[in-house]
């Protein structure tokens, strides 16, 4: 069967381009996804790479643009299916979200339940339905999946490993989740950037993270999937883009899609504290203030280490917030003005939680 997505159709040894119909506009016309299919001369895995689901995150788009070249295809075993602009409306308006759906677009992928019909609630939006269709295409052909994002200014470039969920009592499902999670670990190591897990299992549904592209593809479709966060939003740094390309080529070497040994990842900071980690937003300010950061992305921290100094508008020191955890700094959110309760540092903290876990008991009721 020939691999196709929208009007792009795979051809041996070639890069083909096309478009995939996403959302039709009331005034006519349509948002379409740009699609690139690069197929090697030899049969092999199908690697899906997507970017631009949040309209302010542009590094991944450049990674895809520069990664896929005729030289790469001449060495390639298998196929790359790439979509560099998953959220055309958000990208056009430089917003995280699309103006025709108020939800985080990376929380619109299927969760394994069929949508409930409730006359008092709007049915799934056009965008949600479109991502559902796209999910089916990914499920049909993908061996591996990478979704490229950015997190905030000067952050580390890293991967978020999702937890993989299964239904309680479903032994085969649990085994599949464990196998998928193991592949994700190998894939993350092959990529070679800093690694951290996302929230703990219990938080997944709460945060609707199970409906992110990668969690949905890993859990519902059983395909190893990773979210790469390529540092700053908006205009990317060239070093980050190049490190992203090198990481993806290393994933393809791991997957047997490219020959040769892994290439070194250079130009970015890579942190390994020596224990597994997960994300936590910390240094929540107790009062309205300006924050002066005492750490930066990549700083290793221990319990008690100072993270930020709080000052009033005149610069008078109000206090210092210290770390309650061992770990490292992933990023500092944009800006230095904070209201009470807002977190001023994103840490990777020690993670003792399992990487696979059961859905809540009533999830499928
Ligand atoms: Zn994002």
| Cα 89 to Cα 283: distance, rounded to the nearest angstrom | 34
Q: What six digits make up the tokens of 304?
A: 């008690």
* pLDDT for the residue 143: 98
Span from the CA of 98 to the centroid of ligand 1 (angstroms): 13
Instruction: Report the pLDDT value the prediction gives residue 365, as an integer from 0 to 100.
Output: 85
| Residue 230 Cα to ligand 1 middle (Å) | 9
- Quote the CA–CA distance of 36 and 214 in Å, as a whole number: 20
Which pLDDT value is given to residue 2? 84
* pLDDT on residue 1: 61
pLDDT for residue 117: 87
Ligand 1 centre from 214 Cα, in Å?
12
- Measure the CA–CA gap between 360 and 341, rounded to whole angstroms: 28
**Tens-place pLDDT, residues 202-260:** 888 888 999 999 999 999 999 999 999 999 999 999 999 999 999 999 999 999 999 99
Q: Look up tokens 């994103």; give the residue.
A: 346
151 Cα–ligand 1 center, Å: 6
Q: Record the pTM.
A: 0.97
Query: Which pLDDT does position 22 carry in this prediction?
Result: 98
Contact 193, 270 (CB under 8 A): yes
Q: How far is the CA of 244 from the centre of ligand 1 (A)?
A: 15
Task: Enumerate residue ranges in the chain where pLDDT < 50.
Answer: none
Contact 192, 268 (CB under 8 A): no
Cα(155) to ligand 1 centroid in Å equals 13
Best CA proximity match to 333, nearest among 156, 198, 155: 155
């Amino acid at each position: 069967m020939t691999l196709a997505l929208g009007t792009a159709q795979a051809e041996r040894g070639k890069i083909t381009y096309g478009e995939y119909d996403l959302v039709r506009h009331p005034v006519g016309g349509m948002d379409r996804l740009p699609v690139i299919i690069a197929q090697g001369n030899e049969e092999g895995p199908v690697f899906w790479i997507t970017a631009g689901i949040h309209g302010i995150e542009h590094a991944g788009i450049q990674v895809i643009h520069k990664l896929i070249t005729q030289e790469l295809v001449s060495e390639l075993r298998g196929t790359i299916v790439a979509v560099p602009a998953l959220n055309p409306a958000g990208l056009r308006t430089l917003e995280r979200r699309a103006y025709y759906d108020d939800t985080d677009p990376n929380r619109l992928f299927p969760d394994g339940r069929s949508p409930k019909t409730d006359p008092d609630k709007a049915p799934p939006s056009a965008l949600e339905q479109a991502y559902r269709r796209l999910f089916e295409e990914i499920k049909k052909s993908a061996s591996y999946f990478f979704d490229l994002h950015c997190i905030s200014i000067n952050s580390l470039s890293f991967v978020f490993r999702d937890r993989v969920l299964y239904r309680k009592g479903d032994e085969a499902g649990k085994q599949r989740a464990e196998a998928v999670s193991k592949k994700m670990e190998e894939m993350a190591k092959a990529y070679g950037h800093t690694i951290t897990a996302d929230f703990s299992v219990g938080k997944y549904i709460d945060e609707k993270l199970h409906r992110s592209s990668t969690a949905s593809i890993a859990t519902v479709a059983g395909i190893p999937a990773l979210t790469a966060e390529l540092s700053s939003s908006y205009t990317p740094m060239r070093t980050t883009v190049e490190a992203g390309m090198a990481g993806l080529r290393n994933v393809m070497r791991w997957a047997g899609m490219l020959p040769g040994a892994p290439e070194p990842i250079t130009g970015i900071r890579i942190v390994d504290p020596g224990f597994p980690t997960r994300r936590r937003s910390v240094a929540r300010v107790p009062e309205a203030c300006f924050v002066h950061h005492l750490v930066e992305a990549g700083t290793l921290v221990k319990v008690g280490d100072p993270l930020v100094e709080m000052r009033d508008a005149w610069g008078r020191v109000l206090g210092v917030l210290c770390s309650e955890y061992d770990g490292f700094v992933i990023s500092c959110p944009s800006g230095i003005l904070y209201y009470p309760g807002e977190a001023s540092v994103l840490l990777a903290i020690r993670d003792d939680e399992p990487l696979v876990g059961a859905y809540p008991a009533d999830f499928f009721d």
